[in-house]
Structure 1
Amino acid sequence: MQSDKGTISIRLVTEAVLELQGRGQDSGPLLARAGIAPALLAKPYARVTCEQYARLWLDLARQMDDEFFGLNARRMKVGSFAFMARTASKETSLEPALHGALRFLGLIFEDFSPRLLRAGGMAEIAIDQSPNSQATRPRAFADFTLWMMVHGLACWLVGRRIPIIAIDVQRPQPDYLEDYRVMFSDNLRFGRPYSRLLFNAQWLDLPIRRSADELKQFLQAAPQGILVRYRDPQSHAARIKAYLRGIKPERWPDIEAISAHFFMAPSTLRRKLSQEGQSYQSLKDHVRRDLALNRLNQGEVNFNELAFELGFADASAFYKAFKKWTGSTPGQYQAMMQPQGGVTVKTAQTG
């Protein structure tokens, strides 16, 4: 069942209050203040609004003095995210901003430390586990929460949604994945050697031009402003991508035919997609990218055949498009996604 527009699964609410409950505290009053009926925790298919989840996050942070849900031995005290955002917004481009933000988080956390790595055309936000930690990350929820904060901040800093190529998680696969796929990527893998979020390194070079007023507005809207930045599963873009996935690329309709399928004029569809920051061509590119990544993850080695199946004129056109999507060639991507692979050829400088 597809996620409802602007909502979050009750299972993530359960994850959010789990540490509080483990300390013997009642989550009922917090849930009630957020407008969430405590009885919903027993209904696995229930959903809450982004606003309700954001209120719960803020109230939990105040009660625990921890903006990280108590997921680490050392608290991420209230005000930490705001300090990190203010510092990052003063940098000239995204790469030093992310380095500073991740160094700051590394000072806060006791059990693990995030770092930015860059090699060639790909980059990753990796999470290193402390070998001496007694309170290791028990749940993938911790990794996804960290990435939500950092990725959400990064998107705001450059004023664009940064596409996520893939996510590897060290922890076992949780029972519930649907919202993680909606928020981040369909390309999720668990039980990996370490945790990392991969994206095209070209985004690191984008400039940061955020005013003090924009920063103030961003922080006033956090964390709801971060939550709503993620993909809306009921948007026109998402519905079109879901439709295209069910058709072979060679049979994809033109803009007139796809508009008729959704009962609107081509000009109306173009306008609605533009309001979502998309175009029909970009959506076709996104679906081709996802299909290519899925096949490569399965071990596809005949790149000429894959190029033809994806609707490219030849392998050269496929290579060019793949390099644009990911910053790497198909072969380089496959090597990096092996169990021992990673963006480890060169660690980006921190100075």
Structure 2
Amino acid sequence: MIAYAVQRDIDAAQLCKLAGIDLPALKKKTATPVTAQQLQDLWLNASRLSNDPLFGLHFAESLQPAALGIVGEIIQSSATAGEALTHAAALTHLVTDQCRMELTRTNKTFTVRLIPATDYGATPPYAFRQLIDLLLVMVIHELDGLLLEKIAPSAVRLAYTVPDLPEYERVFRCRPSKRAGEYVLVFDIKYWDEPLLTANYELQNLLLQKVSTLTNTTAQPQTLQLRIYNYLLANSYLGVSSLDDMAANFNISPRSLQRKLKEEGVKYQDVADAVRRSLAVYYISSGNYPLKDISYMLGYNELSAFTRAFKRWTGSTPVSYQSL
């Protein structure tokens, strides 16, 4: 959360101080666990300093690398998406003691349900709402990683009224509805028995390795260009975020984002293409992976479109570059 706050141009030391957290001590392996009150204050102050009432939702949207990391672990003991989700649900207690995850199936759908340890009714605490958003969006990202496509739930139900319905719909890929006592994602049953292709996870692991080399995100504030580059790189699985999505995540208008980047001498498309080029070269140089898989990982549905883009970036076709 602190690393994401820095991406949003929040000073990590200031944020931690306001939450009563010793940042240098937090970085140590022997750090004292963060208390529930400190976590609540961290959420509230991150939202206030970013001027983003949907900070938790946008943080959840940025957690694609964490979701892929979970996928990498559970894929080793799962043959289908349903098995993988079942294993993930059993591990929820390692993430939080505030709720547990339950999976149910019918002939047409399967449901992922979060069951709170405490019944908060229609007005749960701010930090708990952020946790619910985070876990549910993570499930969607996990399915993306398991099935190698962007999955949209057929229904999302929350016990509270969301503050910005269109933005929740954008992040959840489905318009949420309110239903008392429910924190639920519903998916088409066709995904449950979908087999997992383990070979494709080598490329996911390469992405995670690339992300791990990023500049320490709790260091001093960075330029907007670098913050966006790091965000796009970390969340580039199955494509690079559009200008509109990037602006929404940073809680500013697309025009303002373009203007701020122009002040640094670049366009959004320049940053996005730099990410695509860097990953394309990295994937091709890292092994003899099928170019169609690399193309798909970068968000290109057609290999021909990827080939044209790669030649524009490097002056060489992917096939020629791969043979070097």
TM normalised by structure 2 equals 0.46
Structure with greater helix share of residues: 2
For normalisation by structure 1, the TM-score amounts to 0.43
